[in-house]
A = this chain, B = another copy of it.
Amino acid sequence: MTVKLVSHANLTTACAADVRAAIRNGSYDGHTAGLAAGKLQCNLAILPDRFALDFLRFCQRNPKPCPIVGVSNTGDPSLPTLGRDIDIRTDVSKYRVFRNGELSEEVTDICDVWSDDLVTVALGCSFTFENALLRNGIPVRHIETSKNVPMFRTNIDLVPAGKFGGQMVVTMRPIPADQVAQASEICSRFPQAHGAPIAVGDPAQIGISDLSQPDWGDAVDIRAGEVPVYWACGVTPQNVLLAAGLPICITHSPGHMLVSDVAEDAETTILTTN
């Protein structure tokens, strides 16, 4: 079968189910920023069920970097509370497979890696609050300049659970000083998407030495009248999973999120109660 590839631009008006279908049938393998407008997108952590209870405890104790929005049954690739037809083995455009704490492979489906003891945990992502900031006239520099958001390791200790622990990773967005309070208020309405900022201003207060040298993503300019604002980041659980050295775990590749059918502004992330 020859699959006709589609571009990001071709998908910008597609619904979430159609985006997933294009990914599933192999016609799209790009990033998902800006696709399925208004729908929740998710960070992914797939791990053996014997570690799942501790990982859920870890996420519950660190809700700002790790907001749980969906948990599968063991061995079940569906996620019916996030989307009626989701098959997590095929519906994400790029995955990273880690073995014993090392990146093993980057793939466009995980059918060959899937096994009956795996549990999928879906976590909220920053797209939700970025969209809300933009809707309210608050600029988001890395989007304006077509860069990746700058991400930084911090000295903020996470609350541990079992093998899982470490320090928080944050994203930084420069915000005009007179809009910081409004930005914080807007984001606090999205606890399923990292919530309000965790710090504002001096990067040294959270152990960041140089804002021009992000640990991941791209540096962005901080202009006159702007202050750096820091949000808990979904790279945190990925780092924590890596450090735990599990025999296997699988995440999405950065920017290649799971696109759900849940409305970004829904009161809960559960389809059947909305």
Residues of A at under 8 Å CB distance from B?
Answer: 49, 52-53, 56-57, 60-64, 68, 70-71, 73-74, 80-81, 119, 159, 161-162, 188, 191, 195-196, 198, 267-270, 272-273
- Shortest CB distance A164–B (Å): 12
CA distance A267 to B187 in the complex (A): 11
CA distance A64 to B267 in the complex (A): 9
Q: How many copies does the complex hold?
A: 2
Q: A191-B268, A196-B267, A267-B195 are in contact. Are A49 and B53 (CB under 8 A)?
A: yes
A57 contacts across to B, CB distance below 8 A: 71, 73
A74 contacts across to B, CB distance below 8 A: 53
CA distance A60 to B270 in the complex (A): 9
The reply to whether B270 and A81 contact each other, CB–CB distance below 8 Å, is no
CA distance A18 to B90 in the complex (A): 54
The reply to whether B270 and A61 contact each other, CB–CB distance below 8 Å, is yes
The 4 tightest CB contacts between A and B, nearest first, are: A53-B53, A57-B71, A63-B268, A56-B56
The reply to whether A195 and B159 contact each other, CB–CB distance below 8 Å, is no
CA distance A124 to B74 in the complex (A): 26
The reply to whether A159 and B81 contact each other, CB–CB distance below 8 Å, is yes
The reply to whether A56 and B81 contact each other, CB–CB distance below 8 Å, is no
CA distance A210 to B205 in the complex (A): 58
The reply to whether B81 and A268 contact each other, CB–CB distance below 8 Å, is no
CA distance A81 to B59 in the complex (A): 12
CA distance A80 to B70 in the complex (A): 25
CA distance A163 to B270 in the complex (A): 19
Instruction: Name A49's closest neighbour in chain B (CB-CB).
Output: B53
Q: A52-B53, A61-B81 are in contact. Are A270 and B159 (CB under 8 A)?
A: yes
Neighbour of A188 across the interface among B49, B61, B267, B269, CB < 8 A: B267
A269 contacts across to B, CB distance below 8 A: 63
CA distance A268 to B64 in the complex (A): 8
The reply to whether B81 and A71 contact each other, CB–CB distance below 8 Å, is no
The reply to whether B272 and A161 contact each other, CB–CB distance below 8 Å, is no
A188 contacts across to B, CB distance below 8 A: 267
The reply to whether A268 and B71 contact each other, CB–CB distance below 8 Å, is no
Instruction: Name A69's closest neighbour in chain B (CB-CB).
Output: B60
A119 contacts across to B, CB distance below 8 A: 53
- Shortest CB distance A208–B (Å): 18
The reply to whether B73 and A270 contact each other, CB–CB distance below 8 Å, is no
